[in-house]
Amino acid sequence: MEKNGRGKAKKSADRRERDDSDNGAAVQEIRMKKLATIEGYLDHHPVRMRYPDMAVETMERPTTMAGMVWFAAKIVLFSDYDGFFAEGTRQIFFMSLFKWLFAKKIILVCRPRLKAPPSGLLSYLKEWLKTRVFKMGVDHFIVISTSEIEAYHTHWGISKEKMTYVPFKVNSADSLAELETGDEEFIYSGGTSLRDYKTLFEAIKGLDIQVKVVTNRDFDKESIPRNAHIIHNSGTISEFYAPCARARFSVFPIESGYIRSAGQGSYLGAMFLGKAVIVSDTPGVRDIIDDGVNGLVVPPDNAPLLREKIIALWEDNDLRNRLGETAKRQVREYYTHERYIDNIYRVLRWALGV
């Protein structure tokens, strides 16, 4: 009896061991997720090593509309990927469309740039269709300003529970760190996306202060004040930021009337270089800049007040130094490339159920 009991106990233990092994394999199979993306910056080894239960494959970006359609079809219909992450409007649209049409069990996470509903009927229908397809196909949205959560919910009905705020980052920090900084007698401004140079030009007109503007924007020569110097940017980091590094401080005028954020990369780069910044109070700015602590925030479309802030900051050396040093310290600690990617991986991991 005792021997038979020991035999039964051994068989029971062996069976539990096999079951545990099988369950462990099943758990491992469930937890390991395969995700595709065409955003090359996610291929960041130090961050990827922290997420061994999620395999991320960076794929080649399609260059044509037909290529994007075929790419979306292959991912959704014929692949074994568990998820897909994208930022560009076309890839988000077609991935969402194919998922909705064919009910593929693939998790879509994206970072969109949505507009407020346009006034024209045709423009409105086009934007409504795009956003409608996004809502039907995208499982979770990443936004880079807290105000976008409220705006996207109010204007397009996207559930707040489907959105996560991820602070943006300094672009090309290693290259910026190599630039020689100075305090020369001019102000820097730069960028193209949603820039309000009209208000800036009105603010600086007649001042005995030189302003260098690095942008791809074209201007009517008559609209450019004598003290503004336009530098056309060829797209290199050194060309865009070298004047910023030497400037006394930086001004980033952002257009009002938009629900998405713009310019974070530009003014975060200036802050990384230790420059005091003046930025228009538009979506995303208050997430980064604490007015009077690490920069100055001014209402958009207000040339007289912008002019006052420019003159005050030009003349107050102590204020410039204090704002610049605080900005430099905070940005280098909290807005790094690695932290941005890590936050995105956290959202992807959560969305995929890892």
pLDDT at 29 > cutoff 70: no
Single pTM value for the model: 0.86
pLDDT at 32: 80
Q: Tell me, yes or no, whether 8 lies in a domain.
A: no
pLDDT at 15 > cutoff 70: no
Q: Tell me, yes or no, whether 12 lies in a domain.
A: no
Cβ neighbours, 10 Å, residue 157:
10
What string of H, E and C letters represents the secondary structure of 50-114?
CCCCEEEEECCCCCCHHHHHHHHHHHHHHCCCCEEEECCHHHHHHHHHHHHHHCCCCEEEECCCC
| Average confidence score pLDDT of the chain | 90
Q: How far apart are the first and last CA of the chain?
A: 48
CB-CB contact of 34 with 80 (8 Å): yes
Q: Do 286 and 240 share a domain, yes or no? A: yes
Q: Which residue has the higher pLDDT, 251 or 30?
A: 251
Q: Measure the CA–CA gap between 251 and 44, rounded to whole angstroms.
A: 32
Q: Measure the CA–CA gap between 40 and 80, rounded to whole angstroms.
A: 20
Q: Measure the CA–CA gap between 72 and 81, rounded to whole angstroms.
A: 12
Measured over the CA atoms of residue 70, residue 123, residue 159 and residue 145, the dihedral's sign is positive
Q: Do 187 and 309 share a domain, yes or no? A: yes
pLDDT at 34: 94
Q: Do 30 and 138 share a domain, yes or no? A: yes
pLDDT at 13 > cutoff 70: no
- The closest of 131, 129, 88, 86 to 108, measured between CA atoms, is 86
pLDDT digits (tens, 9 = 90+) for 308-338: 999 999 999 999 999 999 999 999 999 999 9
For 284, left (φ over 0), alpha (ψ -120 to 50), or beta?
Answer: left
Give the helix, strand, coil percentages of the chain, each rounded to 5.
50, 15, 35
Q: Do 199 and 327 share a domain, yes or no? A: yes
Instruction: Give the total number of structural domains in the chain.
Output: 2
Q: Do 224 and 278 share a domain, yes or no? A: yes
pLDDT digits (tens, 9 = 90+) for 199-243: 999 999 999 999 999 999 999 988 999 999 999 987 788 899 999
Residue whose structure tokens are 């450019």: 224
pLDDT at 235: 77
Q: Tell me, yes or no, whether 13 lies in a domain.
A: no
Range of the domain at 87: 22-169+339-351
Residue-wise burial string across 183-206, b where 16 or more C-beta atoms lie within 10 A, e elsewhere = eeeebbbbbebbbbbebbbbbbee
Q: Do 149 and 225 share a domain, yes or no? A: no
pLDDT digits (tens, 9 = 90+) for 270-322: 999 999 999 999 999 999 999 999 999 999 999 999 999 999 999 999 999 99
The pLDDT > 70 percentage for the chain reads 91
pLDDT class for 19, splitting at 50, 70, 90? low
CB-CB contact of 269 with 277 (8 Å): no
Q: Do 177 and 292 share a domain, yes or no? A: yes
Residue whose structure tokens are 């690695």: 338
pLDDT digits (tens, 9 = 90+) for 125-178: 999 999 999 999 999 999 999 999 999 999 999 999 999 999 999 999 999 999
CATH of the domain at 158: 3.40.50.2000
Q: Do 161 and 75 share a domain, yes or no? A: yes
Q: Tell me, yes or no, whether 17 lies in a domain.
A: no
Q: Tell me, yes or no, whether 252 lies in a domain.
A: yes
Q: Do 140 and 183 share a domain, yes or no? A: no
What residues does 57 pair with on adjacent strands?
36
